[in-house]
Structure 1
Amino acid sequence: MEQGRKYLGVVAHYAPDGRLTPRSIEWEDGRLYRIDRVLDARPMRSLKAQGTGTRYAVVIGRTRAYLYFEDSRWWLERM
């Protein structure tokens, strides 16, 4: 695993207009967590994990997190 990154399985929806929206994440132990809200999505660089991709600011339960989509893989920035 690259520093500051946790690669995850993600269930996402591709809209007819091309928008990609993550719906849930699969944690490394197999547990699934529903993404309750996507607050923002924009191309952005991670200062903590040294990567660039589309950053999704998401809410999972009471937790806010940054989920990145880069080179066909999803990763969660470690807080």
Structure 2
Amino acid sequence: MSVGHQLEKYFLHFNQLTKEKVKIIITDTNRAYSKLTKIIFPNSIAVIDSYHYIFSINILFYLILRSTCITKKVNSSLLTCNPYLR
């Protein structure tokens, strides 16, 4: 059973009026959560939590820095220390 299916089953216990009152869902970057938000909570918006938002921005900065270093043939050995960014 997928995470999305488990969450959908859980939220079916709440009445529709209660679910319609939800305005904001704070979630991580899992696509199942954002899809589920629109199905279960039709009047809400999904907001990515600050940890995942900052992590995504850091990844983008790293990729820009790495491509700049490679383009300019700068020694990029310092950029390979993070295993998530190789």
TM-score range, shorter chain: under 0.3
Larger Rg: 2
**Structure whose residues are more often strand by fraction:** 1
Name which structure has the greater RCO, CA cutoff 8 Å, separation 6+.
1
**Structure whose residues are more often helix by fraction:** 2
Could you tell me the TM-score, scaled by structure 2's length? 0.22
Could you tell me the TM-score, scaled by structure 1's length? 0.23
